[in-house]
Amino acid sequence: MKCNYCSKNTLICKGKRGINQRYQCKNCGKYQQDFYSYKLYNSQDDKKIKILNAEGVGIRSMSRILGYSQGTIIRRIQHLASKVIKPIYSANNEVYEVDEMWSFVEKKKPSNYCWITYAINRRTHEVIDVSFGSRSKENLGKVIRSVLSYKPKKIVTDKLNTYPGLIPSELHDTTRYANNRIERSNLTLRTNIKRLSRKTICFSKSKKMLEACVLLYFDYHYWKICTKK
Ligand SMILES: [Zn+2]
């Protein structure tokens, strides 16, 4: 048997992976196996991962459908999410809606809430910005600042008492039913992203993965025109 990297006959047995023998090359020092249970990742499947993520398929289902290991899928989702660019829109004087949606991280209990705060354009339904974490002034402020940079006509939110300190009162609107579009959008997210479903035991084990999956979803539906992928 020859080394996959330097093609010399210098392999020695070195440990096992499950039932598969593992080898080390004495020439180049690389580890390898003669049989792998999962195939090598092909970057042409990036698009499939994005589609499956946007269709409510979880990590383990993706692993079974595409034939890659769960670790590969997780690493790839994080890599793809790190490439996502939030677009800059040209629209001014529009109405924006801002809302928060809860999800869990690590454990399913109220102290582990992780909130997804995001803003949409009421007319076009485009997502402007998103932040993850508690409902602190810092996290909400990040979204509000990027909405204010578009010179909005009005910002519609719910009656959470953090907003009046962040939004100038002449722009702020907390009328009942005014934020219907973003509340509808919350339901769409819960239907389409596996880890946001309610009344299941499927939820994110880390904040990093929650961020990555939601960013990929927004990229797939709203931002891909801008990133040209
Ligand atoms: Zn070698």
- pLDDT single digits (tens) 106-120: 888 888 899 999 999
Average predicted confidence (pLDDT) for the chain? 91
State residue 65's pLDDT score. 94
Q: Could you identify the residue written with the tokens 């995001």?
A: 118
Distance CA(217)–CA(193), nearest Å, equals: 8
| CA contacts within 13 A on the Cβ side of 35 | 7
Q: Is the pLDDT at 227 greater than 70, yes or no?
A: no
Instruction: Give the distance (Å) from ligand 1 centre to CA of residue 86.
Output: 43
State residue 151's pLDDT score. 92
Q: Same domain for 99 and 203?
A: yes
CATH code, 153: 3.30.420.10
Distance CA(130)–CA(221), nearest Å, equals: 14
Chain centroid, CA 196 distance in Å: 11
Within-domain flag for 130: yes
State residue 145's pLDDT score. 94
pLDDT band (50, 70, 90) for residue 35: confident
Q: How far apart are the first and last CA of the chain?
A: 41
Q: Could you identify the residue written with the tokens 């008492």?
A: 161
Within-domain flag for 23: yes
- Domain range for 120 is 95-207
pTM over 0.75: yes
Q: Is the pLDDT at 229 greater than 50, yes or no?
A: no
State residue 225's pLDDT score. 59
Q: Same domain for 101 and 21?
A: no
Instruction: Give the distance (Å) from ligand 1 centre to CA of residue 20.
Output: 19
Instruction: Give the distance (Å) from ligand 1 centre to CA of residue 9.
Output: 8
Within-domain flag for 86: no
Instruction: Give the distance (Å) from ligand 1 centre to CA of residue 28.
Output: 4
pLDDT band (50, 70, 90) for residue 24: very high
Tally the domains of the chain: 2
Within-domain flag for 212: no
Q: Same domain for 99 and 195?
A: yes
- pLDDT single digits (tens) 165-218: 999 999 999 999 999 999 999 999 999 999 999 888 888 999 999 999 999 999
Tokens of 71: 């670790």
State residue 27's pLDDT score. 92
State residue 228's pLDDT score. 46
In sequence order, what DSSP letters do the residues of 53-117 get, joined into one string? HTTT--HHHHHHHH---HHHHHHHHHHHHHT---------S-EEEEEEEEEEBSSSSGGGEEEEE
Within-domain flag for 214: no
Q: Same domain for 29 and 100?
A: no
Instruction: Give the distance (Å) from ligand 1 centre to CA of residue 76.
Output: 27
Instruction: Give the distance (Å) from ligand 1 centre to CA of residue 2.
Output: 8
Within-domain flag for 52: no
DSSP annotation of 39 reads P
Q: Same domain for 203 and 100?
A: yes
Q: Same domain for 108 and 33?
A: no
CA angle 47, 51, 53 (to 5 degrees): 115
Tokens of 123: 């007319």
Within-domain flag for 2: yes
Within-domain flag for 47: no
